[in-house]
C-alpha cells in the first residue's frame, strides 16, 4: 500500500493463520513512573529511532507529550510521539479513547508544519470521546466542587476521558472508532446515549465541545460522520497490524500516557485517570501479548509534580516550588494549569518500578535542579508515627503520610550542555546513583534539557 505521501507501509497479511507464539521480548514499553508529565514524549522520540512502529495503548487527549526537534517544539495529545520520524508506523491502539475532532486537528496541524503523517493508524476498536462525554466530565467536576462534603473533585482535564471509559465498560451506548464509518450503527448508539444520559444532558451548560445548549442527535451524528470520513484512511484493525509487524521480526515501541500513579487500578485511587497506564495496559490496549515486551523503560523526573487533586506527599508550597516550576516550565501541556511541585519521592517511584517490572530508568529534567545547595529525597513515609518504606496506593492513607527525607548535596552548575556522563558534575552523578541504588534499577538515560541532543545515554 502506498500512502498519500509516498511512504511504504506494509500491507496487512491475508490472514492471521500464522500459529505459534509471537517472538518474545523484542519490543519496548515506555511508561511514566509518577503522576504524568515525566517527559515520556522525549523518551519515546529517542527510542523510536530503533523501532519500526510506535503504538499508544491508553489514555486520550488528556495526555500531552512535548518533543523538541531541531529547536521546534511539538505538543502531541493523541498522535503517538513516533510520528516525528517519517515513514514509521504510528498506531493509536484500541485502549485509547479518541476524540476524533481533536485527532483530526492534531493531524492537520502536524501536516501544516511539514510532518509526514502517512504512517498513522487508528484502531477501529478504540472508543470515541463525544461532546457529551466532555459535558458529563465537566458537570461531575463542577458538582463535586460545589459539594464540600463527600468526595472531592478529581481535577480532571475535562476532556471526557472518564465518561468515555465508563461508557466502554457499561457497554450500552459506547461508540467505537469503527462506528464512525457506519451511519446507522453510529446513529443508534448515539440515540441510546441520549436516552440513557437525558437527565445529565438536560443540565448541560459547560464543556469545551460545541457551544453550550441542548445537544441534538442529528447534528452530532452528522459531525461525527464527517470527521469519520476524514479519518477513514487511517482506521483499521491495529491489533492485526501489530501482530503482522512483530511476526515479521520488526520491533514495536509501546508508548504509555499519563503516569503509573494515575493508573485506574494501581494509582492513588480515586484521584486517577480512567485507563491502565502501567505496562500491563499494553496487552489490553493493543492486543499484543505482554511477553513481546522485553524492555520496560520507566521515565521519571528528578523531582515530583502532579496536576489536579490528590495526594502528593512531598509537595512544596514555598520559593523552592516556584523556582522548580519556572525552571521546569511546569505548566500543563493539555490544560495550561500550573503543576504542583515537590521533592523527589523515591518511595512512590520504587512502587511504580515494581508494578511495571521496569528494566531501566530515564531520568528527566535533572537540569532543573541546578543551583540548589542541597536537595531532598523522600526515602520513607511515617504513617501514624510509624516509619514505613512501602507505598500505600490509596489516596486517604497517602494523604496522612509524613515524608521522611534524606538530604543530598546539590550541584551549582548549569548542566544543559553536558554531552556525556563524564561531563556531568560529580554531585549530579551522585544524585543519579542515589536514585538507582534506592530503586535497584539502572538509570540508562539522563535528560538535561528538552532538545534531542540534550540527552546522555549510559547504555
Ligand atoms: P482525566 O484523565 O482527565 O480524567 O483526569 C484525572 C486525573 O489525571 C487529573 O488529576 C488529571 O490532572 C490527571 N491527568 C490525566 N492525564 C494526565 C497527564 O497526561 N499528565 C498529568 N496529569 C494527568
From 61, 65, 134, 157, the mutation candidate for ligand 1 (largest count of ligand atoms within 8 A of CB) is 157
pLDDT at residue 376 in the model: 98
pLDDT exceeds cutoff 60 at 3: no
Catalytic residues: 37, 65
Q: Which three cell numbers stand for residue 172?
A: 450500552
Residue indicated by cell numbers 492513607: 397
Q: What are residue 156's phi and psi, to 5 degrees?
A: -70, 170
For residue 64, how far is its CA from the centre of ligand 1 (angstroms)?
A: 10
pLDDT at residue 1 in the model: 30
From 57, 257, 308, the mutation candidate for ligand 1 (largest count of ligand atoms within 8 A of CB) is 308
Helix or strand (DSSP H, E) at 455: strand 455-457
Q: Which of 40, 72, 34 is nearest to 56 (CA)?
A: 40
pLDDT exceeds cutoff 50 at 149: yes
8 Å CB contact between 121 and 174: no
Count Cβ atoms below 10 Å from residue 113 Cβ, excluding itself: 9
Q: How would residue 210 be classed by pLDDT, with cut points 50, 70 and 90?
A: very low
For residue 159, how far is its CA from the centre of ligand 1 (angstroms)?
A: 9
Q: Which tens digits make up the pLDDT trace of 28-50?
A: 999 999 999 999 999 998 999 99
pLDDT at residue 211 in the model: 43
From 31, 258, 267, the mutation candidate for ligand 1 (largest count of ligand atoms within 8 A of CB) is 258
For residue 25, how far is its CA from the centre of ligand 1 (angstroms)?
A: 30
Residue 262, ligand 1, Cβ within 6 A: yes
Q: Which tens digits make up the pLDDT trace of 331-368?
A: 987 778 899 999 999 999 999 999 999 999 999 999 99
pLDDT exceeds cutoff 80 at 400: yes
Strand 360-364 relative to strand 340-342, pairing: unpaired
Atom 10 in ligand 1: residue holding the nearest Cα: 308
What's the chain's Rg over C-alpha atoms?
A: 22
For residue 364, how far is its CA from the centre of ligand 1 (angstroms)?
A: 19
Residue 307, ligand 1, Cβ within 6 A: yes
Amino acid at each position: 500500500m502506498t500512502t498519500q505521501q509516498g511512504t511504504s507501509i506494509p500491507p496487512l497479511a491475508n490472514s492471521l493463520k500464522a500459529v505459534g507464539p509471537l517472538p518474545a521480548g523484542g519490543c519496548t514499553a515506555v511508561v511514566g513512573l509518577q503522576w504524568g508529565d515525566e517527559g515520556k514524549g522525549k523518551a519515546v522520540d529517542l527510542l523510536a529511532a530503533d523501532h519500526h512502529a510506535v503504538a499508544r495503548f491508553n489514555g486520550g487527549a488528556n495526555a500531552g507529550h512535548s518533543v523538541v526537534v531541531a529547536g521546534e517544539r511539538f505538543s502531541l495529545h493523541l498522535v503517538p510521539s513516533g510520528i516525528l520520524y517519517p515513514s514509521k508506523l504510528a498506531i493509536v491502539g484500541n485502549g485509547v479513547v479518541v476524540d476524533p475532532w481533536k485527532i483530526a486537528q492534531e493531524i492537520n496541524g502536524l501536516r501544516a508544519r511539514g510532518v509526514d503523517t502517512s504512517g498513522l493508524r487508528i484502531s477501529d476498536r478504540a472508543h470515541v470521546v463525544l461532546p457529551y462525554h466532555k459535558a458529563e466530565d465537566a458537570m461531575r467536576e463542577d458538582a463535586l466542587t460545589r459539594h464540600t462534603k463527600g468526595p472531592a473533585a478529581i481535577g480532571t482535564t475535562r476532556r471526557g476521558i472518564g465518561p468515555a471509559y465508563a461508557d466502554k465498560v457499561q457497554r450500552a451506548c459506547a461508540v467505537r472508532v469503527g462506528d464512525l464509518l457506519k451511519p446507522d450503527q453510529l446513529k443508534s448508539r448515539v440515540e441510546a446515549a441520549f436516552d440513557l444520559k437525558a437527565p445529565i444532558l438536560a443540565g448541560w451548560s459547560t464543556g469545551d465541545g460545541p457551544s453550550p445548549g441542548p445537544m441534538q442527535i442529528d447534528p452530532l451524528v452528522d459531525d461525527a460522520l464527517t470527521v469519520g470520513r476524514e479519518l477513514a484512511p487511517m482506521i483499521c484493525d491495529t491489533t492485526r497490524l501489530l501482530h503482522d509487524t512483530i511476526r515479521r521480526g520488526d520491533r514495536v515501541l509501546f508508548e504509555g500516557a499519563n503516569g503509573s500513579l494515575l493508573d485506574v487500578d494501581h494509582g492513588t485511587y480515586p484521584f486517577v485517570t480512567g485507563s491502565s497506564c502501567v505496562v500491563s495496559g499494553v496487552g489490553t490496549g493493543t492486543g499484543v501479548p505482554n511477553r513481546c515486551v522485553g524492555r520496560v523503560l520507566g521515565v521519571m523526573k528528578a523531582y515530583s509534580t502532579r496536576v489536579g487533586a490528590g495526594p502528593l506527599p512531598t509537595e512544596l508550597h514555598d520559593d523552592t516550588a516556584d523556582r522548580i516550576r519556572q525552571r521546569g516550565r511546569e505548566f500543563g501541556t493539555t490544560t495550561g494549569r500550573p503543576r504542583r511541585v515537590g521533592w523527589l519521592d523515591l518511595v512512590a517511584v520504587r512502587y511504580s518500578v515494581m508494578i511495571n517490572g521496569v528494566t531501566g530508568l530515564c531520568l528527566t529534567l535533572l537540569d532543573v535542579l541546578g543551583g540548589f545547595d542541597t536537595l531532598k529525597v523522600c526515602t520513607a513515609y511515617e504513617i501514624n508515627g510509624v516509619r514505613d518504606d512501602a507505598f500505600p496506593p490509596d489516596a486517604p492513607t497517602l494523604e496522612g503520610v509524613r515524608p521522611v527525607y534524606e538530604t543530598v548535596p546539590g550541584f551549582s552548575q548549569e548542566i544543559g550542555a553536558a554531552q556525556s556522563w563524564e561531563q556531568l558534575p560529580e554531585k549530579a552523578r551522585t544524585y543519579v546513583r542515589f536514585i538507582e541504588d534506592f530503586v535497584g534499577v539502572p538509570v540508562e538515560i539522563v535528560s538535561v534539557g528538552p532538545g534531542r541532543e540534550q540527552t546522555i545515554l549510559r547504555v
